[in-house]
Amino acid sequence: MSEPDALEDRELTELLEAVANRDVSATQQERLAERLAADPDARAEFIQATAFEAMLAYEFPVADARVASSALDVSDPEPHARKWGATRTGWFSVVVGVVILLVGWVAFQTHHGTPDNAADVVGRFADLSDSRWMDPATQVLSGDAIRTGQRIELSSGSVEVLFNTGARLRIVGPTIVEPRTDNSVYLTLGEVHLVAETPESKGFTVVTPTSKFVDISTAFSARVSPDGLSRLNVSEGEVDVVLEGTERSPRLRAGETLYVEPGEGQVMTRIEEGDGTADFRFPTIQPPSREDYADQSLGHTTIRVAQGRLRYQPGQSGPAAVLLDGRGQSQQDAPGESAFFQDRAYGSFLVDLGEAVTVSRVNSYSWHQHLIDPTHRTRAQQRFTLYGFSGDELPDLTLLPDESGWTRIARVNSDHFFKVRELLDRPAQQACSITSAGGDIGRFRYLLWEVKRNTFFGEFDVFVSPSRAARSTKGE
């Protein structure tokens, strides 16, 4: 059910709109039937449009007694959609009830497992906004003390904690966080926002399951997803990212965001907005390169579509090979210079590096903005999962990568990254750079981009460790 876009088929759009408005002329009827009989894409779009109409019809049921006479319960005078909702609500209530009981039990166990007065007061609750707690018995008032080791389990709303050092930590539910010292917390799950403006609060540390975020000055946000993925967003000043087992500490500056995957690979994902020109300039990520290991000019690497098919009409995608040609698109809406899948029929790109090499960085670039409608940038979003495989014998590509021997390297969703809520929130030109705090992402022969959007990708760059790259340029 994709939104109309730069490549939209205007005739089909008009025909579908006429159907939705029940305002179809005889000529339009004939033309629609012709189009649908001849074109599978038109049929898919027609089905999606009618499904959307069905949802609207469900949302706004006809104010008419005829619709109320549902076969499920003819005695019920409620409109059909309400009846459906009520049935669903009944079952949903049971599930919610069970979940509440479970959460309450876990919270009870956790709360009663924590020794009272285990440590010193490190701060106080300063502000509570619509706060609800995982343990309904929890009662917190502004000014209440917080001690080290005290788990704060916020179900919804937000609370602010004022540390003795002057650091202010806003906790947004659902979150589980625990002060470790008077200037650090352990974030198990959820989201916190830190402002550390006093000298004493410098160095405030948020520890997550994958990393430590150490404040250098002022403000940052940290988020831990249920699957262990950590996110750091620096709004002011600088923050060091400390990862276990490595001495390298990437430093993020204001406006920068980083994801850290769980696991030993210490994979980090950085996504940035470009300058919207054919130069593809980004704040820290380099433009598309002709000097990466996978560039077609070096002859090491091939690329093909592993699953799905590239869009062929209207607005035909370029071949997958455009992703290794060392450049992005020349303009904002250039389907022939992009590689992209059919709407809602996503797929995967397979890169064969020729032999197993040590991959240190993988960059991907996208660019899309409608020539007339500046709000329409749907195909700029990058949403994919990157996998690697080191063996020579390729796994069965019809199986799920997670179940067929591939190593999941990173998950990317740039709309989440940019917090897209309105159409203009989504940058038209984007770059994603996947690296590892340890220096190398891993040793792989194959890379698989499992793509979940019809993104206008312009380039994939794969960099290998310097020693391997040096050997390759000498003709090895």
Partner 1 sequence: MNTDQNSPADTIRQISLHQASLLAYILALHPDRSEAQDILQETNVVLWQKIGEFRPGTNFRAWAFRIAYLQTLAHFKRTKRSHWLGFSTELIETLADEAEPLLTDLEQRQRALRHCVEKLPAQDRDIVRAHYESEQPLAELSARLGRSVGALKQVLFRVRRTLRACIEIQLTEGAGDV
Is residue 229 involved in binding partner 1 (CB under 8 A)? yes
Is residue 56 involved in binding partner 1 (CB under 8 A)? yes
Report the nearest approach of partner 1 to the CB of residue 63 (Å).
5
Interacting span for partner 1 (CB under 8 A) from 55-63, 119-127, 346-354, 388-396: 55-63
Specify the residue, 83 or 147, whose C-beta has the smaller distance to partner 1.
Answer: 83
Is residue 80 involved in binding partner 1 (CB under 8 A)? yes
Report the nearest approach of partner 1 to the CB of residue 175 (Å).
16
Is residue 447 involved in binding partner 1 (CB under 8 A)? no
Q: Can you say how many angstroms the Cα of residue 153 is from the centroid of all Cα atoms in its chain?
A: 25
Burial class (CB in 10 A: 0-12, 13-18, 19+), 377: buried
Interacting span for partner 1 (CB under 8 A) from 66-74, 191-199, 279-287, 297-305: 66-74
Interacting residue with partner 1 among 110, 181, 225, 404 (CB under 8 A): 225
Specify the residue, 55 or 101, whose C-beta has the smaller distance to partner 1.
Answer: 55
Q: Do residues 350 and 446 lie in contact, with contact meaning Cβ atoms separated by under 8 Å?
A: yes
Q: Do residues 132 and 158 lie in contact, with contact meaning Cβ atoms separated by under 8 Å?
A: no
> What are the φ and ψ backbone dihedral angles of 131, each rounded to 5 degrees?
-80, 135
| H-assigned helices in 141-261 | none
> What are the φ and ψ backbone dihedral angles of 184, each rounded to 5 degrees?
-155, 155
What is the token pair recorded at 367?
């660019």
Could you give the dihedral angle defined by the CA atoms of residues 39, 44, 49 and 53, in that order, rounded to the nearest 10 degrees? 120
Is residue 10 involved in binding partner 1 (CB under 8 A)? no
Interacting span for partner 1 (CB under 8 A) from 33-41, 93-101, 286-294, 364-372: 33-41
CA–CA separation, 359 and 349 (whole Å):
17
Burial class (CB in 10 A: 0-12, 13-18, 19+), 220: buried
Interacting residue with partner 1 among 338, 381, 436, 455 (CB under 8 A): 381
By residue count, the chain amounts to: 476
What is the token pair recorded at 414?
């740039």
Specify the residue, 70 or 138, whose C-beta has the smaller distance to partner 1.
Answer: 70
Specify the residue, 24 or 305, whose C-beta has the smaller distance to partner 1.
Answer: 24
Amino acid identity, residue 404? S
Q: Is the peptide bond before 179 cis (omega within 30 degrees of 0)?
A: no
Specify the residue, 54 or 118, whose C-beta has the smaller distance to partner 1.
Answer: 54
- Nearest of 152, 137, 243 to residue 190 by alpha carbon: 152
Report the nearest approach of partner 1 to the CB of residue 444 (Å).
21
Report the nearest approach of partner 1 to the CB of residue 82 (Å).
12
Residues in touch with partner 1 (CB under 8 A): 1-4, 17, 19-24, 29-30, 32-33, 36-37, 40, 43-44, 46-48, 50-64, 66-67, 69-72, 80, 83-84, 87-88, 91, 225-227, 229, 259, 344, 378, 381, 383, 385, 411-413, 415-417, 420-421, 423, 452
